[in-house]
Each structure stands twice: as structure tokens, then as C-alpha cells.
């Protein structure tokens, strides 16, 4: 099977997904991905005419069921402290992050 | 065991509380006592060492919100004493699946990455249930971010057990919700269904599970999995309770642009209207399907468990005696592609939704003196997410990456259209078949043993084989208890109808519930509570 997920492709996916994995976990995940692909390949056998539209959600929204646009107006919220309290590190109501990798451009 | 207040159906609890025959506090105490008796040790994210007693108890809750619930129950009792109506769910103990935000409670989605998260607001359906008098007794365990059909992927262990046999899974992802309702720890549960996550565990636990039409219930405050498929819904012991609760949570919400502006009927009004003249369809495509062999894992054409097929036939006969017309051989040929298409669509949406967890704004953060921002992301996500979550993110990346995707995503969205067209054709009131609702099995098997399937992500996904089509199409699905198999495990039967036909599904389910009320299995109760 030419298009199984190779170790190199897998490593690229891990980069895209911003994950750090240990070896054992990586081996399990790559095996399961390839196993899922065998099921996904069932889709290749289905003849779908070009006229069949793409469905992004099942139920169509009609003029009767589509929610009206709401007016664009600011509403006060008193939840700011509760929301800020959820951040792992805060200083003077700023959320703290470690150094952002950067390079100086010529 | 004599029936306690917590064993009463929700509508009866609310009636008694409103009539001052019982107080909301008494009902709450009854449910808390039940939790103490059957739930066992509280699941945690600590390294898990299994104990034999873990498989005799249910572990349905990640958080029991005792103090908050007491405050709510007292408020309901005060309202009654002051002559006010606390609402149609007055004093009803409610388990909220832990992927909904409930203000002031830990809302984890079953994941370590959200373990420290205290929701600063409540989800719309939670707000509506509480405004109707329901008392949130706790947050129910689930598969991590709902990714599973057994609850074993939760970061909070021990994972829930099935009240009918705690060595077996309760199903998933709403396993804690279904176990809690089946065992009387709550009268109803607010849960979610993305591929079968309400209906499959409801079937495994012998309770009622409703996935409403997509857009019927607001998703505001729901921790997202696959936004085009996720539906909040209800788990209950009786049909009437699901109808009552849907009436409370359904309806437009300015905070969710996908919440439909369709009017909300009184779902309890026509409940006893019967099925005379209704055309109920049976489809061979729900009995013979391609799915992995449970022993070898090979994808092959198989019939579902004969006892489950027999239960569906039995239900058809019961409904026919009540005056329904049973239409056989209703073809829905794309049913078998539901899981392959779901493997693609749900993973792409999940990967996108899960990018927000980065250790910066809320939730778990990996702290390390030397890390820069990118390392922080990778380590936080590497340690915060469990394997099933990582698997979904990686597959989502693969099938949506330009260089790899081979048209899978577009093909899956087209197949989704074909599945929708199957239903539109058979439900068309001007079409040749004019089906009012379909009667199918909910699951290909009954509850399996804990540890038997977990780890095999393909076999686990196929547990949703018969339920996922309703999520692709957006139509409502209702799983109801349909008997017990030869091992004494519950069998679920499923009703599927056109968009916004929930009232009709409840009516058919109620007719079946009444027609079979005298059958022996109806008198049998789960092993837990003993």
C-alpha cells in the first residue's frame, strides 16, 4: 500500500498538530492511523456523480428556520475576572507566556 | 429494593415537588444517598491502579456538585413555599455530561487538559434546565472530549461501569450520563450525540436517549468536538421525561447561529396519540452491514446480533397491533458508508476545534523553566491530551493536508449528501414510500466487557455504525429500551424521523412503551443498585 502513513509523514503530522509524543505512544498512534485509513478507503469505491453537492451540515436552513442577524451592539459582561482567573499565569491582568521564538531579519 | 424518591420519573418528581408532597431537598438527599451507595471512588486523573471493587461500582460522576445543588434545591423549595411555580422540572436531579459548561463547576470534557478549568458561565441548555427547576447534582464522566464508545478513554479513572453488569462498559461517550440515569443517581441527564454518543450508551444501559434534530438545541457552552454533527440531547428512564426536558432545552438562541428558529411544540401533548395509520419502515440496510469482525478486525459483511434483530421485529409486531402499518424493505443503501465518511469529517472538525488548547488562556499548562512558546504548546498538548484525542487530531491533519488528502474530505462530504438523500427519499410525503419513521436497532451488539475493545480505534468507532447516519443527515434519533439479551443485557431499538419530527418519535416510542408494559423484562432492574 503506497499511501500508508510513513514514519516521515507521521512526523510531519505531529509537527502540524503541535504534539510531543514518546516513542511507544507514537508507534501506537501510527498503527491506528493506518488501520483507520483502511476503513476510509471504502470511500474510494463509491461512485459519486459530480452533481452531488457537498453537505457541510445535514439539515438545510430555510428562511423559516435561519436565525435572524442580531444587532451589533456591545453588552456589558461582568465575567472578566472569572475568565482571567482561568489563565495559568497572569501578571497585572496580562496573560504571561514564555519567550516567543523569533529571528532578526536582515 | 423499595423505590426511593430518586427512582421516580422526572415528571412525577416535579409533580410532587410542585404539589408540596415532597421537597426538592428530600429528592436531592435521596439522589445523593444513591450516589454514595453505588458510585464508588471518585474518578481522578492520578495514575490508575485498578481495584476489584472498582468493577462493582459505577463511577458515573467526575464531580458531585453537592453544595451548589443544595442551594438550588432550597431555592426551588422557597419558590414553592412562596406560592411561585419553580418550573416543569422542579427538583429533578440532573446529571450534566462534563462537556457542558456549568458556571462555578469544573468542566473537564474528561480531559486532563481541562482539569483545572472552572466554567465562568453556563451552557444555554444547562441554563434552561436550571431555570425550569432542575437541580444539577453533578458532572457525568465521558470519553475524553467524547472520543469513544465505552468511556474507557476518559482521563478520569476508574471509568464508569454498566449498572446491568459493572464489569461491562456503559457505552459512550455519554456513559456516565446513561449509567447515572439507569441507576437512579439522576432522573435525567443532559448529554451530547455526535455519532451515537447518547443513543448507544442509552441502549447499553437500558434507558431512553434522544438525539434531537441538528439545530433544535443550542450548542452555546458545549465544548465542541465536531461542530456540524454535535447535538445536545437527553437521557431519561421514561419517554415522557425526555419529551418534557426537550421542551425545556429546545429553541432559538442568539448566542448560537446554528440554533434553528423553528417553533417548539409541547412535546408531551400528543404523547399518547398512538400510532394508528402511521407508516413505520424497516430497512434491511440496518441489519446486514459491513463492519470489522470482532475477532479478526477484518472488514466484512455481517448481520447484527440475532437477538437484537429479533427485538426490532418484536417491536414492529407490537406497533402493528397498535394500528401502525409496517413497511418492509425500505432501502437506505448508503448506511454502510456512515463510519468511513465519519472517520474523515469528524476528524477534520475535531482537529480544528482542538487547536484552542494551548496552555495559555485556560486549562492545563506544562511548566518548564527553559521552554519557549512552541515548546510550551507541544508539551502542554502532549501531556494534556490522551491517545484517542491525539489520534483524532493527527487523522484530521492527514485527511485535510493538501499534500496527502487524495480528495477524502470532499468525497466524505458528498457521501454525507448521499446519506441525507437516502432519508429524504423515504420520508418524502409525496414519495412512493411516505415513511413516517424508521425502526432500527440502535447498536450491532449489547454492552461489551471493559478492556475488550479499547485500544482498537477502528472496532470502537464501528459501535456507532447504526447511529452515525442520523448525525450526517441531521435528523432526530431516539433509542428506547427494547428488551434484554440472553445474558440479561439491555437491547436498544432506534426510531429515526425527518427533521424536527421529535414529537412523532416520542409518540411512537410511547405507544411501544405502553404496548409492552406487561412484558416480563420490563419488571427487571439493573444489578446496581442491588
Full DSSP string of B12-28? HHHHHHHTTSS-HHHHH
Ramachandran angles phi, psi of A31, nearest 5°? -60, -45
**Do B408 and A14 make contact, defined as CB atoms within 8 angstroms?**
no
CA distance B318 to B313: 9
Interface-testing mutation among A7, A23, A47, A98, with chain B (most B C-beta atoms within 10 A): A98
Catalytic, out of B30, B107, B150, B173: B173
DSSP-derived 3-state class of residue B454: coil
What are the tens digits of pLDDT across the range A27-38? 999 999 999 998
Q: What is the pLDDT along chain B (530 residues), one digit of tens a residue?
A: 457 999 999 999 999 999 999 999 999 999 999 999 999 999 999 999 999 999 999 999 999 999 999 999 999 999 999 999 999 999 999 999 999 999 999 999 999 999 999 999 999 999 999 999 999 999 999 999 999 999 999 999 999 999 999 999 999 999 999 999 999 999 999 999 999 999 999 999 999 999 999 999 999 999 999 999 999 999 999 999 999 999 999 999 999 999 999 999 999 999 999 999 999 999 999 999 988 887 888 889 999 999 999 999 999 999 999 999 999 999 999 999 999 999 999 999 999 999 999 999 999 999 877 779 999 999 999 999 999 999 999 999 999 988 887 789 999 999 999 999 999 999 999 999 999 999 999 999 999 999 999 999 999 999 999 999 999 999 999 999 999 999 999 999 999 999 999 999 999 999 999 999 999 999 999 999 88
Cα separation of B171 and B282, whole Å?
Answer: 25
pLDDT digits (tens, 9 = 90+) for A83-98: 999 999 999 999 999 9
The minimal CB distance from B361 to the residues A54, A87, A100 is found for A87
**Grid coordinates given for A82:** 472569572
**Structure-block grid coordinates of residue B9:** 420519573
pLDDT category of residue A75 using cuts at 50, 70 and 90: confident
CA distances from B173 to A17, B220, B275, B417 (A): 24, 19, 32, 25
User: What's the pLDDT tens digit per position in A22-64?
Assistant: 999 999 999 999 999 989 988 988 989 888 988 888 898 998 8
Instruction: State the pLDDT at residue B495.
Output: 98
Of B120, B395, B471, the CB nearest to A33: B395
> Are B454 and B150 contacting, i.e. CB atoms less than 8 angstroms apart?
yes
pLDDT for residue B368: 79
Torsion, Cα B96 B101 B106 B107, to 10 degrees, reads: 80
B182 vs B158: CA distance, rounded Å: 18
Which residue in B285, B174, B159 sits closest to B232, CA to CA? B174
Interstrand relation of B208-211 and B231-236 (parallel, antiparallel or unpaired): antiparallel
* CA nearest neighbour of B177 among B158, B157, B204: B204
CA distances from B247 to B62, B139, B244 (A): 27, 22, 5
Mutate to test the interface with B, among A1, A36, A90 (most CBs of B within 10 A): A36
Q: Predicted ipTM?
A: 0.93
Residues with Cβ within 8 Å of residue B403, at least 6 apart in sequence: none
Of residues A70 and B219, more confidence is placed in: B219
Q: Is B477 exposed, middle or buried (0-12, 13-18, 19+ CB in 10 A)?
A: buried
- Whether B105 contacts B139, CB under 8 Å: yes
Helix, strand, coil percentages (3-state) for chain A, rounded to 5, are 35, 5, 60
Handedness of CA B518, B523, B524, B525 (dihedral sign): positive
| Alpha-helical regions (H) of B210-298 | 239-249
Q: How many other CB atoms sit within 10 Å of the CB of residue B251?
A: 19
pLDDT in the model for residue B402: 83
| Cα distance between residue B165 and residue B171, in whole Å | 12
pLDDT at B358: 94
| Residue linked to cell 423499595 | B2
pLDDT for position B414 = 95
Residues 6 or more apart whose CB falls under 8 angstroms from that of B220 comprise B123, B124, B253, B255, B256, B259
What does the longest C-alpha to C-alpha distance in chain A come to?
60
Looking at the predicted structure, is the pLDDT value of residue A2 above 60? no
pLDDT of residue B404: 80
| Catalytic site residue from B30, B197, B218, B479 | B197
Which residues in chain B are closer than 8 Å to A70, comparing Cβ atoms?
A: 254
Q: Is A7 exposed, middle or buried (0-12, 13-18, 19+ CB in 10 A)?
A: exposed
pLDDT of residue B256: 95
DSSP strand pairing (B188-193 vs B93-97):
parallel
B133 in the Ramachandran plot: left (φ > 0), alpha (ψ -120 to 50) or beta? left
Residue of chain B with shortest Cα separation from A71: B254
Is the pLDDT score of A3 beyond 80?
Answer: no
Residue pair A26/A15 in contact by the 8 Å Cβ criterion: no
> B21 CB contacts (<8 Å, ≥6 apart)?
B15
The pLDDT value recorded for residue A7 is 95
Q: Over A44-86, what HEC string results?
A: HHCCCCCCCCCCCCCCCCCCCCCCCCCCCCCCCCCCHHHHHCC
Helix H or strand E encompassing B141: none
**Under 8 Å between Cβ of B181 and B188:** yes
Put the strands of the sheet holding B437-441 in their side by side order: B61-64, B135-140, B93-97, B188-193, B231-236, B208-211, B477-484, B490-496, B437-441, B279-281, B325-327
Reduced DSSP (H G I as helix, E B as strand, rest coil) percent helix, strand, coil of chain B, to 5: 40, 15, 45
Beta bridge partners of A45: none
* Substitution target from A13, A40, A50, A95 for chain B, most B beta carbons within 10 A: A40
Residues of A in contact with B424 (CB under 8 A): none
Nearest C-alpha in A relative to B370: A98
Give all strands (DSSP E) within B81-160, no chain letters. 93-97, 135-140
Helix B387-400 with A23-40: angle, nearest 10 deg: 50
Q: Do A33 and B343 touch (CB under 8 A)?
A: no
Predicted confidence at residue B87, as pLDDT, reads 98
Dig out the grid coordinates for B257 from the structure: 447561529
Distance from CA of A93 to the nearest CA of B (A): 12
Amino acid at each position: 500500500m503506497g499511501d500508508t502513513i510513513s514514519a516521515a509523514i507521521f512526523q510531519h503530522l505531529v509537527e502540524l498538530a503541535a504534539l510531543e509524543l514518546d516513542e511507544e505512544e507514537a508507534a501506537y498512534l501510527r498503527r491506528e492511523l493506518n488501520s483507520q485509513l483502511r476503513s476510509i478507503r471504502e470511500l474510494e469505491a463509491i461512485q459519486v456523480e459530480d452533481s452531488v453537492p457537498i453537505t457541510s451540515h445535514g439539515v438545510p436552513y430555510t428562511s423559516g428556520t435561519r436565525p435572524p442577524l442580531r444587532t451589533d451592539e456591545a453588552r456589558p459582561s461582568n465575567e472578566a475576572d472569572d475568565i482571567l482567573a482561568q489563565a495559568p499565569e497572569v501578571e497585572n491582568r496580562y496573560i504571561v507566556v514564555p519567550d516567543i521564538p523569533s529571528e532578526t531579519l536582515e | 429494593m423499595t423505590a426511593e424518591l430518586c427512582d421516580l420519573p422526572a415528571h412525577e418528581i416535579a409533580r410532587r415537588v410542585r404539589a408540596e408532597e415532597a421537597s426538592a431537598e428530600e429528592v436531592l438527599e435521596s439522589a445523593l444517598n444513591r450516589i454514595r451507595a453505588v458510585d464508588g471512588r471518585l474518578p481522578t486523573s492520578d495514575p490508575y491502579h485498578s481495584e476489584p471493587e472498582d468493577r462493582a461500582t459505577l463511577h458515573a460522576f467526575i464531580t458531585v456538585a453537592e453544595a451548589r445543588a443544595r442551594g438550588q434545591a432550597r431555592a426551588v423549595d422557597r419558590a414553592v413555599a412562596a406560592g411561585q411555580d419553580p418550573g416543569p422540572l422542579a427538583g429533578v436531579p440532573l446529571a450534566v455530561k462534563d462537556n457542558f459548561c456549568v458556571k462555578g463547576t469544573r468542566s473537564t470534557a474528561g480531559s486532563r487538559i481541562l482539569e483545572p478549568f472552572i466554567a465562568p458561565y453556563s451552557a444555554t441548555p444547562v441554563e434552561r434546565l436550571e431555570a425550569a427547576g432542575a437541580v444539577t447534582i453533578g458532572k457525568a464522566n465521558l470519553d475524553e472530549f467524547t472520543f469513544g464508545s465505552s468511556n474507557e478513554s476518559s482521563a478520569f479513572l476508574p471509568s464508569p461501569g454498566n449498572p446491568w453488569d459493572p464489569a461491562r462498559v456503559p457505552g459512550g461517550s455519554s456513559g456516565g450520563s446513561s449509567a447515572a440515569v439507569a441507576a437512579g443517581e439522576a432522573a435525567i441527564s443532559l448529554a451530547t450525540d455526535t455519532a451515537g454518543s447518547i443513543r448507544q450508551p442509552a441502549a447499553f444501559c437500558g434507558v431512553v436517549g434522544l438525539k434531537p434534530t441538528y439545530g433544535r438545541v443550542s450548542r452555546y457552552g458545549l465544548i465542541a468536538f465536531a461542530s456540524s454533527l454535535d447535538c445536545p440531547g437527553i437521557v431519561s428512564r421514561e419517554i415522557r421525561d425526555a419529551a418534557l426536558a426537550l421542551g425545556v432545552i429546545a429553541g432559538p438562541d442568539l448566542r448560537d447561529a446554528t440554533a434553528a428558529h423553528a417553533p417548539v411544540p409541547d412535546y408531551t401533548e400528543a404523547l399518547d396519540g398512538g400510532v394508528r395509520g402511521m407508516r413505520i419502515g424497516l430497512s434491511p440496510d440496518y441489519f446486514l452491514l459491513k463492519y470489522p469482525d470482532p475477532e479478526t478486525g477484518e472488514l466484512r459483511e455481517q448481520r447484527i446480533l440475532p437477538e437484537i434483530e429479533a427485538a426490532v421485529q418484536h417491536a414492529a409486531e407490537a406497533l402493528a397491533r397498535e394500528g401502525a402499518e409496517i413497511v418492509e424493505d425500505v432501502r437506505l443503501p448508503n448506511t454502510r458508508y456512515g463510519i468511513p465518511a465519519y472517520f474523515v469529517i469528524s476528524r477534520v472538525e475535531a482537529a480544528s476545534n482542538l487547536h484552542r488548547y494551548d496552555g495559555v488562556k485556560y486549562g492545563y499548562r506544562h511548566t518548564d523553566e527553559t521552554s519557549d512558546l512552541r515548546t510550551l504548546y507541544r508539551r502542554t498538548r502532549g501531556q494534556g491530551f490522551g491517545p484517542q484525542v491525539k489520534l483524532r487530531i493527527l487523522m484530521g491533519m492527514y485527511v485535510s493536508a493538501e499534500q496527502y488528502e487524495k480528495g477524502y474530505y470532499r468525497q466524505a462530504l458528498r457521501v454525507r449528501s448521499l446519506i441525507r438523500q437516502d432519508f429524504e427519499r423515504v420520508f418524502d410525503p409525496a414519495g412512493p414510500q411516505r415513511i413516517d419513521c424508521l425502526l432500527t436497532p440502535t447498536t450491532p451488539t449489547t454492552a461489551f466487557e471493559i478492556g475488550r475493545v479499547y485500544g482498537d480505534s477502528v472496532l470502537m468507532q464501528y459501535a456507532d455504525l447504526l447511529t452515525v447516519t442520523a448525525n450526517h443527515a441531521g435528523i432526530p434519533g431516539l433509542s428506547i429500551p427494547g428488551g434484554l439479551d440472553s445474558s440479561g443485557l439491555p437491547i436498544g431499538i432506534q426510531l429515526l424521523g425527518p427533521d424536527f419530527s421529535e414529537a412523532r418519535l416520542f409518540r411512537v416510542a410511547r405507544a411501544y412503551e405502553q404496548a409492552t408494559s406487561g412484558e416480563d423484562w420490563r419488571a427487571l432492574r439493573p444489578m446496581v443498585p442491588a
